[in-house]
Chains A and B, each alone.
Chain A
Amino acid sequence: MVKEIPLVWLAASGCTGCSISLLNSAYPGIKNVLVDQIVPGVHINLRFHQTIMAGAGEQAIQVLEDTAREEKGNYLLAVDGAIPVAADGVYCVMGERGGKPVSLEDRFTEMARGALAILAVGTCSSFGGIPAAAPNPTGCQPLTKILKAKGINKPLVNIPGCPPHPDWVVGTIASILLNGLPKAEDLDDNLRPLAFYGKLIHENCPRRAYFDEGKFAKKPGDEGCLYELGCKGPITYSDCPLRRWNNGTNWVIGAGAPCNGCTQPEFPDLLAPFYEKLVDVELPTIGTYWASGNEKE
């Protein structure tokens, strides 16, 4: 008997980039994720996802509401996009109830109450991201804030990145299916899985040797560390340099571009301008970093 784990995916104030990134999952492929037993004996039953699902309108909303009622406590809830709360949430609405549009704030709150666990997919739902950038015109908030305001205490994992790597999303779900809900020690202070966000980009960067010898690129295309071109790798936690993107094809610094720190809660406002050198950060060289006791266990 194959166990069916219902998954509901809500799109809030975002750009669908997180979902497109998920489509880029290579091994397992997205077909494996949707159709096959993603780990032996378990199938992820993606019931609701606006961009993929066959049904539309009321029949789609019905799926959402049926899942909340019939699968209470059993379903995973994934959200991409931040939740706009200004003006009673009119800036992002989906479906109607009694002839009135229902805000994503309400949809999320309703679905969150009955979820087994919640996945904040991408930087917008994890930390606010681009729509919450100054002046935050629509009052966008990350899921943590909404949950706190509503007094909902559910396991939450943040899987930031603009967008996140598909392995981070699929890997986090698979980890829940194989090992149960994440324990506090599996996550960092920002509720990110240490398995994917445990090290600084700077620690694993193939251009690190340039940094340590003080050889810096002065313009795009130059050899050298991209620090002076604005690279945020020294303060950004993710395994991009090792995992690489798009089925291992390349990654940001591999293409000669500076990291813009998109997995960080500081993205974008505190990391912009993106093409200006970081200021006011301590930048350890090899050896001193480890000696200063910064290593994450």
Chain B
Amino acid sequence: MGKIVIDPVTRIEGHLKIEAVVENGVVKDARNTGNLFRGIELILKGRDPRDAQVITQRICGVCPQSHGVAATLCLDSAFGIADRIPDNARIIRNLIQGAHVAQDHILHFYHLAALDYVDITDVAQYEGGDSSLDSVKEFISRGELGPFLPRYEGDYRLPVELNQQAVAHYVQALEIRRIGHEMVSIFSGKIPHSVGIIPGGVTSTPTVDNILSFLWKLRTLQDFINNVYIPDVLAVANAYPDYFEIGVGCKKLLSYGAYDLDGKDPDLTRRQRLFKQGVISADFKPGEIDVAKIAEDVEHSWYDDSSSGLHPTKGETLPAYGKQRAYSWAKSPRYNGEVYEVGPLARIAVTYACGDPVVRELVDTSLAQLKASPSVLFSVLGRHLARALSAKFIADALEKWVLQLKPWEPTFAEYDIPEEGRGMGLTEAARGALGHWIEIKDRKIANYQCVVPTTWNVSPKDDKGNPGPIEQALIGTKVKDEANPFEIVRIIRSFDPCLACAVHLITPKGQDLRKLQVV
């Protein structure tokens, strides 16, 4: 029996360690460890509530915009103005978040995941006239291949021409995702850590020129998603078909839904959204979410056991590094006591199960090309495919929304910060279900909680001993070559984990963590 330890897991956001116990070539047990803790929610306590939008974006520089949206929805509800946001502002928020998520999916596939499947060294044999590939060839010939070598060696299956084309697409995707960020910047000033989305609405006013600029940058993205990204995912799927059976996971998916299609119902859980809210399992029957059924276990996290099993708004977290049985700074969020995976697969599958005609067509067409049934979506390749389809679904919606903007019409509703209040913001970050909760007292933040996508996915075992979604996806996997454990990193990266998001969790009760240090 051997143990494979991967620390750091690279090409993800943040600090993650994986330990896999392997017996006869099969993963028997797996533990994922979040290796960074900052205590952002503790930092939020006592501040002006409006600053939550600024500070929570800094939870994650890869998906700041989703935190900005969740914080803002949370503040809108706490300020009692959730039903007064002007349509222009609701649409601009969708444009900002949607453009950001679409570029994030492209970034993930090409710049974080692709090097597990694509052999860049085949470009050394390139004999064409593409100047970008020629420059990569020259780079390879100089012999210093950082950051592309070293790497795991062995299982690269694409033919030479496809590897070369994929490298050209890797380079092209760098530019495309940068243009995606330019779209965000049009309405939100800059990105990462943009400034446009604020409680009450947005800061910018739509004009004809910025609508047109957004539209044409979007068309560049759509062209890439339709003609490069989705075909590349299918090409990888054809070369690595066994990855439709690897990394299956817990087969329970949860989505909060995202992109408000109307802003009139103050209750976020009752709004019409582009991506639907709900839970599903292997039978693809959609179930409603009751957010009161979310609780966070900490038996295997470095926090005192007295705080286990509580709803995020009621949790009490006492750091206890070195606690027996614990192995992560991430907690274990569970829904109705059960393990749930979140992410693009969850929102595509839930929206599919709810019968959305556009998503049904997207998924069914792709599956027909692959001669596969929806059940294959629970897999490494299923997650990549769902992510690509999610990018297309969002991008095509952005095209409609940007043309609904009314130039020069208002984008902001005025408000007063209440003496006391509570709010909740639910949305979908690129990596899945994201919830923010606030409690205001004396016009200051008394309590702020975030339960973020990667905390669901990299959660350690819960109090019942059930492993988290990534752990479940790893357990049972055959590892062909323990020195080059491709299977493990391909499974982990299919979830697109973001550790800066996952491990910031603490319920602020005013303790000084240094004093509470148990070890």
**Chain A interface (Cβ < 8 Å from any Cβ of B):** 2, 4, 6, 11, 13-21, 23-24, 26, 29-31, 34-36, 43, 45-63, 84, 86-87, 90-96, 101, 129-131, 133-135, 137-140, 162-163, 219-221, 245-247, 249-257, 260, 262, 268, 272-276
Contact = CB atoms under 8 A, between A and B. Distances in A.
Nearest to A92: B36
B39 interface: yes
Contacts of A86: 513-514, 517
Contact of B203 (A52, A92, A134, A255): A255
Contacts of B146: 6, 45-48, 53, 63
A16 B120 CA distance: 25
Nearest to B54: A274
Nearest to B39: A137
B150 A54 contact: yes
A236 to B, nearest CB: 14
B410 interface: yes
Contacts of A87: 321, 514, 517, 519
Query: What are the nearest 4 A-B pairs in CB distance?
Result: A17-B61, A255-B189, A137-B39, A273-B48
Interface in B177-231: 177-178, 181-182, 184-196, 198, 200-205
Contacts of A61: 7-8
A16 B11 CA distance: 11
Contacts of A130: 38, 40, 43, 55, 58
A57 B189 contact: no
Given A86-B513, A221-B205, A60 B190 contact: no
B210 to A, nearest CB: 9
B301 interface: no
A13 B188 contact: no
Contact of A250 (B14, B135, B147, B189): B189
B9 interface: yes
B5 interface: yes
Interface in B59-104: 59-62, 64
Given A15-B59, A254-B189, A268-B55, A249 B182 contact: yes
A144 to B, nearest CB: 20
B105 interface: no
Given A17-B193, A57-B7, A255-B194, 13 more contacts: A23-B177, A29-B178, A35-B136, A87-B321, A95-B7, A130-B38, A137-B39, A137-B42, A139-B514, A219-B414, A220-B198, A255-B190, A273-B50
A93 B50 contact: no
B334 interface: no
B37 interface: yes
B48 A138 contact: no
Contact of A56 (B36, B152, B500): B152
Nearest to B60: A15
Given A251-B189, A255-B189, A275-B48, A14 B61 contact: yes
A137 B513 contact: yes
Interface string B422-441: 00000000000000000000
A247 B186 CA distance: 11
Contacts of B321: 87, 90
A276 B47 CA distance: 12
Contacts, number: 278
Contact of B9 (A2, A56, A256): A56
B55 A17 contact: no
Given A15-B61, A56-B152, A137 B412 contact: no
A51 B10 contact: yes
A51 B11 contact: yes
Interface in B133-191: 135-136, 139, 142, 144, 146-152, 171, 174-175, 177-178, 181-182, 184-191
A30 B189 CA distance: 21
Nearest to B492: A56
B411 interface: yes
Contacts of B187: 255
A16 B191 contact: no
B497 to A, nearest CB: 12
B272 interface: no
Contacts of A90: 321, 519
Contact of A24 (B6, B7, B150, B178): B178
Nearest to B143: A4
19 contacts: A16-B500, A17-B64, A23-B107, A29-B174, A52-B10, A56-B6, A56-B11, A93-B15, A101-B17, A134-B43, A138-B39, A246-B181, A246-B182, A246-B184, A253-B189, A255-B188, A255-B195, A257-B204, A273-B50
A297 to B, nearest CB: 29
Contacts of B201: 220
A220 B189 CA distance: 14
B367 interface: no
B438 to A, nearest CB: 15
A253 B189 CA distance: 7
Nearest to B205: A221
B51 interface: yes
Contacts of A11: 14-15
B310 interface: no
A220 B144 CA distance: 51
B205 A256 contact: yes
Nearest to A81: B36
Contact of A220 (B190, B194, B200): B200
A90 B186 CA distance: 40
A140 B60 CA distance: 17
Nearest to A255: B189
Given A221-B412, A246-B190, A24 B181 contact: yes
